[in-house]
Amino acid sequence: MRYISTRGQAEPRDFNGVLLAGLAEDGGLFMPEVWPERSAAEWRSLRGLPYAELAARVMHPFMGSAIDLDTLRDLCGLAYAGFDHPATVPLVQLDDGLWVQELFHGPTLAFKDMALQLLGHLFQHVLEQRDETLTIVGATSGDTGSAAIEACRDRARIKIAILHPEGRTSEVQRRQMTTVTAANVFNIAVDGTFDDCQDMVKSLFADQRFRTEMRLSAVNSINWARIAAQIPYYVASALALGAPDREVAFAVPTGNFGNVLAAWAAKRMGLPISRLIIGSNHNDILTRFLAANDMTARGVDPSMSPSMDIQVSSNFERLLFELMGRDAVATAGLMRDFRATGRMPVPDAAWSKATELFQGLALSDAETSAAIRQIHDTTGYLTDPHTAIGIEAARAARLPHSTPIIAMATAHPAKFPDAVEQATGIRPSLPPRLAHLMSGTEHFTRAPNDLAAVETLLRAFVQRNDAWGTAA
């Protein structure tokens, strides 16, 4: 299995090369050169498997000869052994034909653990094989940072630096990052938005001299391994509800488009998915695109669902590449236009193709709060703001009654206790293992919204950490 860039100017790589590189040198995102596909009989053969085994079998075709199946089984077993629920990704029925799949039973209570717990082990495995070290740099709107830090903390071959927009995450999200005391972890609070943080990470990777000097790799969903590791939970829920012998639909609250792109990838592999429903908050660029081919970036306004406070959805480039018939030149041109003007003129034919599968719904904060309250009042189910948006998007979809809709529960309600309490009067408690968060000492460094300043901080962190490692 080889991977190519969406912009066509980077050398193809195998899975391990893509894992360690993260972003392609031409600024594009890596995609499989050929999509692996499964027959109905092959999908049926995965029914009833424990989640770790299913994940290994679903992911292995994306790895080719880079990692053998037995090794991947072992890594998946390690990754998911610490999850709080025996099913790892349990399904809960809310209504006739409406389900939620809980993706928050990992160590940081968010769906990002599903991929990042595995990526931590994958990084360690490949680095040990190559006798190398690297520096992971990532941007977070809330959940990626804590999940990545938890997966990479105290690993001798990895240094990890996470940029978050100061004041634009929930307190629990922030503290899950900043109370970690591992020497290989560095938190930077940027005076800006998530899009600013994400732009800086991409700029760091585009600076080839800095990238090589710091031995950079990515942990955001710009790294293809993140997407690959999210495909299995869509497969698991679809099989549980009758696939491949009937179609299913998914409703996904999404900001950076990576989570729903994994569902699209499952469909591309042959899983019968009839509809992908995107939930957005008032930062609604994806919903506007699907409704009216309006891919225009606006200012990012803080919301009660901060993980979706995004206007530049990185993973949309991967879908765009496919919608454009894998035309790397055209894809690169559209991305340049978007960066230059804040507007992406997607051809009508490509937009129409997207609307055949995708639809969207955007909720204001007031509507989100009402949704949290209504869901709890009618079903007894307590949701965080992001999940509530996904459930409302599912309810608005108006699909055939025979098609089950699975809404993705992307975070534990205790990650957003203020929003949940405001809506329902109930303040969800953190699990006992995380009770220390609210009293722990925080460690982070503030930075202006300035690339040079962040580069200086990162270089100092890496040099300090390297010196500490040599002394140790």
Asked if pLDDT for residue 13 goes beyond 50, the answer is yes
Q: Round the average pLDDT of the chain to a whole number and report it.
A: 95
Burial readout 363-380 (b: 16 or more C-beta within 10 A, e: otherwise)? bebeebbebbbbbbeebe
Q: Taking 60 as the threshold, does the pLDDT of residue 19 lie above it?
A: yes
What domains lie within the chain, and their CATH numbers? Answer: 91-109+224-424 (3.40.50.1100), 133-220+442-472 (3.40.50.1100)
Burial 407-444, CB ≥16 within 10 A → b, else e:
bbbbbbbbbbbebbebbbeeebebeeebeebeeeeeeb
Going by pLDDT thresholds of 50, 70 and 90, the confidence category of residue 470 is very low
pLDDT in tens, 312-331: 899 999 999 999 999 999 99
* Catalytic residue (choose from 112, 159, 202, 415): 112
Q: Residue 469 above 80 pLDDT?
A: no
The angle that helices 316-323 and 258-268 make with each other, rounded to 10 degrees, is 40
Mean pLDDT in residue range 258-264: 97
Predicted confidence (pLDDT) at residue 307 exceeds the cutoff of 80? yes
Per-residue pLDDT at 472: 38
Band (219; pLDDT cuts 50, 70, 90): confident
Average pLDDT over residues 416-444: 93
Note the pLDDT of residue 383.
Answer: 98
| pLDDT for residue 471 is more than 60 | no
Q: Calculate mean pLDDT across residues 329-346.
A: 96
d(CA 78, CA 61): 20
- pLDDT beyond 90 at 464: no
C-alpha closest to that of 238 among 91, 96, 93, 95: 91
- Residues 97-120 have pLDDT tens digits of 999 999 999 999 999 999 999 999
- Catalytic status, residue 267: no
Across residues 152-172, what is the average pLDDT? 94
- Per-residue pLDDT at 289 exceeds 80: yes
Q: Is the pLDDT of residue 336 over 50?
A: yes
pLDDT value at residue 468: 59
Residue 465 has pLDDT above 90, yes or no: no
